[in-house]
Each structure stands twice: as structure tokens, then as C-alpha cells.
Amino acid sequence: MPADKIADPSAPESNNSACPDSDAVTSAISHDSGEVFSRLTSRSIRSFVIRNGRTTPAQTDAMDRLLPKFGLSYSDQPIDLQAQFGRTAATVLEIGFGNGDVFTHIAQQQPERNVIGVEVHTAGVGHALLAIEQKQLTHTRVIQHDALEVLHNMLPAESIEKVLLLFPDPWHKKRHHKRRIVQKDFLDGVCRVLKPTGVLHCATDWAEYGEWMIEHLEGDSRFENTVGPSMASERPEWRPLTRFEARGHRLGHSVLDLIYRKV
């Protein structure tokens, strides 16, 4: 699909009321706990806010019980993936997995691959851990930390086959664009961890963010579009619909899958 066939950027409604773009959330940004942020990142400009969403007792229990088993504590030094997984296998990384539905679906469908998910939101991490336990996905690991730091410090260079960034927070307002995760710094980190010819797969239903992604990726000579310059790909069959994507569809937004290979 040509990239100019994307949803009207003036679409009146955001894909996700939990996305940090409303004025309510803007005010939450200034009230967020510095203590929580300092545990999750040392960065001052962040692509996330700490939402006060309710964590269920089951999710809290999963954090206590399952994080030690399926979680990786943040490290500012590269970790040994072979030791962590107990095997050598192609590894997929999902950044900002939300409640983990895609992450756990891929892990279930592709047991031959290691799957790592990064997310800051506790309820989402708890939800994913419960699915990991229920489906016995022993080849998955969860990292609750700022993905930017994980990309730059924790994952070994050239260790990842595919990076997924599905429906990242669009940060609609111009004054918030600096919080968009797709920036040069993010692409530097992705490029660092991807194996040669590894793939970065982004998807968004927010037209103007799609244009932003294309601009950043086409302008970066370390990446090439897998289907031709500035082109969007068909949604691959292995990628299930995400919760945010389903809401985008209900709002009449077009979805762009943008798939780039490391050159």
C-alpha cells in the first residue's frame, strides 16, 4: 500500500484514551512520581508516562511470583542472552507491548525463537506474565524498563533478529513530539541491537505519526524499506490485531505497517 494512502491526520479522536496525549495526562506528567521514573529510566524526556491504571490482585501476584522467573532485571551492561534463555536461538524483541497479547501470541506461534518484551506499565507486565505462565512460554522474558536504555545498554550488539514497535503512543500535540519514541536516538539503539539484515517493524494508525516514521526511516541510510521507498507493507499474517489497533479500526483509521531492514 502506498504510504500516501494513510488516514487523515486531522482525525478527531485518538486511538487510545490511555495514550498520554490528553490534557488530563499532560497534568499527570507533572505529578508523576519521580521515584518510579528513576527506577525505570534516567532519561529526562520520556516516551511514556506512568499511568495510575488499576493493577488487579492477580497481576500483582504475578509480578511477585513470576517476574523472578520470566523477568530480566535492567542492567546497564550487555547481558548474556544465551545464559538467560539456556539456548541459542533467533530472538524477537517487542517494545511497548501493552498487555502483551501480541508478544505472547508470537511466542506461542514461534517456539523456535526467543521472545523478549519491554514495557513500563505494571498492569501490562502482570497481564503478560499471567499469559506466559498459562501458556507455558518458557522461551520468553519480560523487561520492565525504558526501552531506550534497554536498546542502548542492556541488549548485546547485533543480538536481535526482529524489533517490533506496534502502535507506539503517537503524542499528537506538537509540543509533545519530542516524546515520540521514533527519533534518531531510538534508531541508533535499534541499529545497535539488530543483527545485519535484521528487521524493524513499526505499525501505527495515526497518519501523521506514520509520516513521521517514514521521514525518520527513509532519511536514515542504515535502514532500507523492505517493499520499496516510502511504501507500507501488508499486515503480515503472523501479526494479530492489537487492542489499540482494533480501536483505531473502529475509529475509521487506516493502519500502516512499516517494515525496514538494517542495511
Ligand X SMILES: C[S@@+](CC[C@H](N)C(=O)[O-])C[C@H]1O[C@@H](n2cnc3c(N)ncnc32)[C@H](O)[C@@H]1O
Q: Which residues would be at the binding site for ligand X (CB under 6 A)?
A: 16, 19, 47-48, 96-98, 118-121, 124, 146-148, 166-169, 181, 242-245
Q: How far is the CB of 102 from ligand X (least distance, A)?
A: 7
SS3 readout for 106-140:
HHHHCCCCEEEEECCCHHHHHHHHHHHHHHCCCCE
By C-beta, is 17 or 197 nearer to ligand X? 17
Least gap, CB of 77 to ligand X (angstroms):
19
* Residue 40 CA to its chain's centroid (Å): 15
Closer Cβ to ligand X, 170 or 198, answer by number: 170
Q: Answer for the pair 103, 128: CB distance below 8 angstroms, yes or no.
A: yes
Nearer to ligand X among residue 146 and residue 257 (C-beta)? 146
Nearest approach in angstroms of CB 147 to ligand X is: 3
54 class by beta-carbon count within 10 Å (0-12 exposed, 13-18 middle, 19+ buried): exposed
CA triple 148-153-154, angle to 5 deg? 95
Q: Smallest distance, Å, CB 100 to ligand X? A: 8
- Asked about 32 being catalytic, the answer comes back as no
User: DSSP labels for 208-246?
Assistant: HHHHHHHHHHHT-TTEEETTSTTBPBPPPTTSPPPHHHH
CB of 82 to ligand X, least distance (A): 24
Catalytic residue chosen out of the listed positions 21, 169, 205, 257: 169
Q: Indicate the residue among 29 and 263 with the shorter CB distance to ligand X.
A: 29
C-alpha cell at 5: 494512502
The residue (of 49 and 217) whose beta carbon lies closer to ligand X is 49
DSSP per residue, 62-106:
HHHHHHHHHB----SS---HHHHHTS---EEEEES-TTSHHHHHH
Query: Is residue 93 a contact partner of residue 155, using CB atoms and an 8 Å limit?
Result: yes
Residue least distant from ligand X (Cβ): 96
- Strands 223-225, 256-262: pairing kind: antiparallel
Q: Which three cell numbers stand for residue 101?
A: 497479547
Catalytic machinery residues: 169
